Structure 1
Amino acid sequence: MSARFEELAWRETPIGEISLRRRLDPRLQVDVYEVKINDEFLMSSLFTVAEIELARLGLAALPAEARPDVVVGGLGLGYTARAALEDPRVASLLVVDAVGEVISWHERGLLPEAAALTTDPRSRLVEGDFFAMAAGDQGFDPDQPGRCFDAILLDVDHSPRHVLAPANAELYTVAGLRRLTAHLRPGGVFALWSDDPPDAEFEAVLAEVFEKSAAHVVTFPNPLTGGESANTVYVAT
């Protein structure tokens, strides 16, 4: 049996102290991997349904015959990126994370199933500021400036209203999203994970920028409360 608790990695970053922890849940008898920024829990391997659905719902909005090039903003524990690779249509996957240490967790094999991202020839992990890249002309691929993609899947902030850094908020405006669409091919998809319920104001912003958009409520069992929790996945085309 594994140790009850272990801090696997820690680093000071511009947005605070980020750490990766593994603990044995005494009730479920499973290893739980958690990411914290300072004293705030950012993500947990106990709650991954909506992160996986972010990839599935986003890619489902593309034509069945598509061979999409995909960007994932936010690597984290890797669930969205791995779910994207499980779609056999995906031709390439670029995963952007602002914290090099998070990429290192996967490259060093500190997380279960990390090899699915680091050994798949379709996948590349890139250190960079997703929000600055979205706003700029060069885009997300440092090897191919100006490259466009078929799908951009984003899971960084808690929600469009609750952001990890003040500068991130600009993306969730009409102007910010219009700049992001410059990196999408015609018919491309933008999908966003949110910890909050559907936000009518943000839905109106999406409707102004995209031809079609929808907010999907994703429910899942919560083993900590014994009840049910929900996240939101926005999908815009």
Structure 2
Amino acid sequence: MSARFEELDWRPTALGAISLRRRREPSSGVDVYEVKLDDDFLMSSLFTAGEVALARLGLSDADGPELDVVVGGLGLGYTAETALSHARVRSLLVVEALGEVIEWHREGLVPLGPLLSSDPRCRLVQGDFFSMTEDSEGFDPHAPGRRFDAVLLDIDHSPHHVLRPRHARLYEAAGLRTLSDRLRPGGVFALWSNDPPSEPFLSVLAEVFPVVEAHDVRFDAPLRGGTAANTVYVARTARL
């Protein structure tokens, strides 16, 4: 049995102090993994429905018998794991700004690390997703200008609540147009948000993408009782 609480790693980074903690949930006896950036809780293995839904909803709308996919934000790996379980996924590129988070996976400090690190379809790339979106070379350092069938993004809290001010450019029409250039015809951009669906953001998406939807993802919230909700936006480029 694991310790009741253990800090597995703590490091200062350019974004702030990041820590990985494992604690045992008393009500279930399950080990819970949590990531904090300074005093902000970024993610918890107790609540993964939104991350799973991001991959499931995004990839269900993507065209093509074989899919090349980008995930923006590695975290604990639940979006990437769900993408790899999709039968049509041929390759997965996971872009993560913090090398420390990639190390957690490669060293097996998080439960999904061995699975992601050993799958030959999956490549973990350290980089700034937002800068790579704007750079003409794109997301894949081995193939400049490469285009993809789906881009799944889970980094900011929402389009209106970003971790860094410069991230906000992506959620404007110009930024979304640049991102759409990284997609093949019929390709999908899907975005996780912790806020309810935003009509203003849907309107901005609709300026760029011909098909846009907002999905309300509901899940149990056992610690406070009842249910909680996330939003997954799905936008698709025009088909040929």
TM-score (norm 1): 0.98
The residue number in structure 2 matching 1:230 is 229
Deviation beyond 4 Å, 4+ runs, structure 1: none
Find the residue that maps to 1:137 and give its secondary structure: coil
User: Please, which runs of 5 or more residues in structure 1 have no aligned partner?
Assistant: none
User: Please, which runs of 5 or more residues in structure 2 have no aligned partner?
Assistant: none
1:119 is the counterpart of 2:118: yes
The residue number in structure 2 matching 1:213 is 212
1:133 is the counterpart of 2:132: yes
Q: Measure, in 1, the Cα distance between the counterparts of 2:147 and 2:227.
A: 38
1:31 is the counterpart of 2:31: yes
The residue number in structure 1 matching 2:90 is 91
The residue number in structure 1 matching 2:45 is 45
Find the residue that maps to 2:100 and give its secondary structure: helix
Residues 20, 34 of structure 2: 8 Å contact kept: yes
CA RMSD of aligned residues (A): 0.8
Matches of residues 68-107 of structure 1 in structure 2 within 5 Å? 68-107=67-106
**Number of equivalenced pairs:** 236
Find the residue that maps to 2:89 and give its secondary structure: coil
Deviations 1:189-236 (A, max 9, x none): 000000000011100010000010000000000011121000000000
Find the residue that maps to 1:106 and give its secondary structure: helix
Q: Measure, in 1, the Cα distance between the counterparts of 2:203 and 2:127.
A: 29
Residues 15, 164 of structure 1: 8 Å contact kept: no
| Percentage of pairs with the same residue | 64
Residues 72, 95 of structure 1: 8 Å contact kept: yes
Q: Measure, in 2, the Cα distance between the counterparts of 1:50 and 1:66.
A: 25
Q: What is the deviation of 1:66? A: 2.3
1:170 is the counterpart of 2:169: yes
Deviations 1:142-175 (A, max 9, x none): 0111100000000000000111111111000000
Q: What is the deviation of 1:113? A: 2.6
The residue number in structure 2 matching 1:150 is 149
TM-score (norm 2): 0.97
Counterpart residue type for residue 108 of structure 1: E
